[in-house]
Chains A and B, each alone.
Chain A
């Protein structure tokens, strides 16, 4: 599957099928800090991603100056 990562933006090829939980562990990502997006919706932690899926792992932490 094709995995888009942000900050910095880059793409990875990962062998599937694979569960979301396993993919995040493989990439050493904290599930509280990211969302997994496929198309225009979200993929929950127990979903299995197919070999031909295109997904985005979107970080959710922001840390600029607060007004």
Chain B
């Protein structure tokens, strides 16, 4: 197999592009795709300070590396989720990446800073772990970006992530979510917050790269990332959608990108939310001051429920058929 560009020995074939690449031209392909995503979706302006959400997985580390390669002013942020060995290994990968390149990596630890962790939150709320995990990440990353006066938050969502979310949203016709599924979420200001910025701009520069490609990028760049899957995500709906789309992609290369980019080009605008109306409704959370439509924001309501409970081990709450629910008790 030869590189489509230079005819040298190829290391990867991308059937969705009907192309093969040697290592150098594959890395260039990745950079080009990120440049195109940033330009097409007005993600990052010259001089912007970028906060990169870093998990220690392939996508976030590839993203940080690519943004550095492209010359952006970046700092990282990682969140200790308290998911046993998985969280420990994830943090080690993120810290090692930052230290090797002399980068600034900020850290928040759910147990140390907020007195809960994701397994415990899942057990106490009787909800899937990804629910409290996503809520916690969104709240803390937004807060860090606003507190640190960053212009933009960059996250490692890739083409497969976006296609799987789109698949789920279409399957259940979540029209409100379809309206928000954009590669760039513009920053939002709220009248009741004195016209201040209440949500930072959030961008997904990897939307033109499949996750096989972000993993390949890490291997070829020598980036050590955590390969193990989150033990709490096993068998979740998002993974099942990805497997279904991979089966379609195997039979029809390019189907995933046609699905997602076709949505952006021809359908997304039809679901655009009434942003002006929504912003007029936003008020400050009575506890933390974050924007919310109620009196208390979703993150503070989660804290009310879960903070202070004895830690629940991962093994007792990881998804498994037929497992009985774990009972928890609040510390006195």
Residues of A within 8 A of B249 (CB): 32
CA distance A58 to B227 in the complex (A): 8
Report whether B242 and A35 are in contact in the complex, using a CB–CB cutoff of 8 Å.
no
Q: How large is the interface on B (under 10, 10 to 19, 20 to 34, 35 or more residues)?
A: 35 or more
Determine if B282 is an interface residue (Cβ-Cβ < 8 Å): no
CA distance A32 to B163 in the complex (A): 14
B199 to chain A, nearest CB (A): 13
Interface-central residue, A33, A41, A42, A67, by most chain B CB under 10 Å: A67
Among candidates B164, B232, B247, B250, residue contacting A64 with C-beta atoms closer than 8 Å: B232
Report whether A64 and B212 are in contact in the complex, using a CB–CB cutoff of 8 Å.
no
Q: Mark B128-152, 1 if CB is under 8 A from A, else 0.
A: 0111011001100100000000000
Residue of A nearest to B135 (CB): A65
Report whether A62 and B220 are in contact in the complex, using a CB–CB cutoff of 8 Å.
no
Residue of A nearest to B16 (CB): A32
Q: Mark A51-67, 1 if CB is under 8 A from B, else 0.
A: 00000001111111111
Residues of A within 8 A of B57 (CB): 62
Report whether B1 and A65 are in contact in the complex, using a CB–CB cutoff of 8 Å.
no
Interface-central residue, B219, B232, B236, B250, by most chain A CB under 10 Å: B219
With an 8 Å Cβ cutoff, the count of chain A residues facing the other chain is 28
Residues of A within 8 A of B230 (CB): 62-64
CA distance A67 to B15 in the complex (A): 29
CA distance A45 to B239 in the complex (A): 24
Residues of A within 8 A of B161 (CB): 66
Report whether B23 and A41 are in contact in the complex, using a CB–CB cutoff of 8 Å.
yes
Binding-face segment, B6-14, B99-107, B304-312: B6-14
B29 to chain A, nearest CB (A): 13
Report whether A32 and B233 are in contact in the complex, using a CB–CB cutoff of 8 Å.
no
Determine if A13 is an interface residue (Cβ-Cβ < 8 Å): no
Given known contacts A35-B215, A66-B155, A44 and B11 CB-to-CB distance under 8 angstroms: yes
Determine if A40 is an interface residue (Cβ-Cβ < 8 Å): yes
Interface residues of B in 55-112 (CB under 8 A from A): 55, 57-59
Report whether B1 and A46 are in contact in the complex, using a CB–CB cutoff of 8 Å.
yes
A66 to chain B, nearest CB (A): 6
Residues of A within 8 A of B131 (CB): 65
Determine if B322 is an interface residue (Cβ-Cβ < 8 Å): no
CA distance A56 to B215 in the complex (A): 13
Residue of B nearest to A45 (CB): B13
Report whether B137 and A67 are in contact in the complex, using a CB–CB cutoff of 8 Å.
yes
Residue of A nearest to B236 (CB): A63
Report whether A60 and B219 are in contact in the complex, using a CB–CB cutoff of 8 Å.
no
Residues of B within 8 A of A44 (CB): 1, 10-13, 20
Residue of B nearest to A9 (CB): B228
CA distance A60 to B242 in the complex (A): 11
Report whether A32 and B229 are in contact in the complex, using a CB–CB cutoff of 8 Å.
no
Among candidates B23, B138, B229, B232, residue contacting A7 with C-beta atoms closer than 8 Å: B229
Task: Please report B residues at the A interface, Cβ cutoff 8 Å.
Answer: 1, 10-13, 15, 20, 23, 53, 55, 57-59, 129-131, 133-134, 137-138, 141, 155, 157, 160-161, 164-165, 210-212, 214-216, 219-220, 222, 227-230, 232-233, 236, 238-239, 242-243, 246-247, 249-250
Please provide the 9 A-B residue pairs with the shortest distance between their CB atoms, ordered closest to farther.
A63-B239, A65-B133, A65-B134, A65-B130, A67-B137, A64-B230, A60-B215, A42-B11, A64-B233
Task: Please report A residues at the B interface, Cβ cutoff 8 Å.
Answer: 6-7, 9, 30-35, 37, 40-47, 58-67
